[in-house]
Amino acid sequence: MREFLKEGAAIKLGLKLGRTFSLKGGRRLADVVGKLWSLSPTSQKLKAIKANQWVVSGGTLDRKELNKQALAVCQSISRSLFDYYYYYQHAEEAKRLMKLTPRVESLIKDIVIAKKPTLILGPHLGNFDLFGMMLAWLGVKPYVLSVPNPSKAYEAENELRRNVGLDVHPLSFSSFRKAKQMLRSGRSVVTGLDRPVESEETKYPIRFFGRNANLPGFYIRLALDTAAIVRVGFGLCRADGSFLLECSDPIEMKRYDDSYEEVVRNVESVVSVAERYIRAEASHWAMFFPVWQEAFEEIEHLR
């Protein structure tokens, strides 16, 4: 949806739509926007969605099937944006829709009651902003490490997140140190795991869906240096209208003699868990940045 709007206008429009439309009407509009997006031949984000979905499918989709899958992803992203802006302004309605798995209940007890240092790693699966907002409502007030050097529009999005109780900070040396302090004091930290990175200092060639991908690995040091519990977490809207909060069981972090191997092996332990969730809900994987560059050429030759 953001591709059709100037960056600064997207948030204002989203909030206005969330105030003006009913949930049903707004989702219908979001589906239309998603369909238009899926038909845009020049959209770089759409091309990235198709390339990513091709890899997740194991290279099994033909062109028609890939276009259908891309439509589902575009509509899921558009709906998630509307849902977030709607529920941001209709909190009590959203709270009635929350469903927690036993693993999430355990996560909340660890953080809120036991004060155990916890690192929540989020794939771009479902509605991660709504997931974070609901965690805040449940008493989890995480320190969030977001995208470094954000644009003005992205910083405005971060301000919305702060307004609901998320302590959001773009990733930097200082915010990394602060996150470590938060964990050592028994707090929780949230960050993403599947957005590809370009900086040579932060990227690692991680096996992700059977291919190398340049994914972040900085959070491994956070986990190992603080003995934090590590989980993958996300939230999905279900067919019955509920919003399911889900997370993995704790993922063991292991020590290795070689520091580089230590990061790579532990990141791969994390993303292997995320893979299972993404594969099961592929049409809700809202990753519109290219994770595997070689997949662009591969999908060009599909029939």
Q: Could you report the per-residue pLDDT of 13-35, keeping only the tens digit for each? A: 999 999 999 999 999 999 999 99
Residues 176 and 137 in one domain: yes
SS3 219: helix
Number of domains in the chain: 2
Distance CA 120, CA 158 (A): 18
Question: Which residues lie below 8 Å from residue 285, measured CB to CB, with a gap of 6+?
Answer: 52, 53, 56, 73, 123, 124, 125, 278
Residues 203 and 138 in one domain: yes
Q: Which of 220, 196, 222, 192 shows the shortest CA–CA distance to 209?
A: 196
Question: Which residues lie below 8 Å from residue 190, measured CB to CB, with a gap of 6+?
Answer: 119, 120, 121, 122, 132, 135, 142, 143, 144, 145, 166, 233
Give the pLDDT score at 7: 55
Residues 272 and 155 in one domain: yes
- Give the number of other Cβ atoms within 10 Å of residue 301's Cβ: 7
**pLDDT at residue 215 tops 70:** yes
Residues 54 and 123 in one domain: no
Identify the residue whose tokens are 């558009």: 78
Residues 205 and 149 in one domain: yes
Please compute the mean of the pLDDT values over residues 71-95 and round it to a whole number.
Answer: 98
Residues 45 and 111 in one domain: no
- The answer to whether the pTM exceeds 0.85 is yes
Regarding predicted confidence, which is higher, 205 or 277?
Answer: 277
Residues 122 and 65 in one domain: no
Question: Which residues lie below 8 Å from residue 159, measured CB to CB, with a gap of 6+?
Answer: none
- Give the number of other Cβ atoms within 10 Å of residue 74's Cβ: 28
Confidence category of residue 217, pLDDT binned at 50, 70, 90: very high
Residues 102 and 158 in one domain: yes
Please compute the mean of the pLDDT values over residues 141-155 and round it to a whole number.
Answer: 92
Residues 22 and 99 in one domain: no
Residues 150 and 263 in one domain: yes
Distance CA 233, CA 221 (A): 19
Confidence category of residue 151, pLDDT binned at 50, 70, 90: confident
Confidence category of residue 152, pLDDT binned at 50, 70, 90: confident
Residues 173 and 197 in one domain: yes
Please compute the mean of the pLDDT values over residues 105-110 and round it to a whole number.
Answer: 98
Residues 61 and 112 in one domain: no
Range of the domain at 10: 2-89+287-300
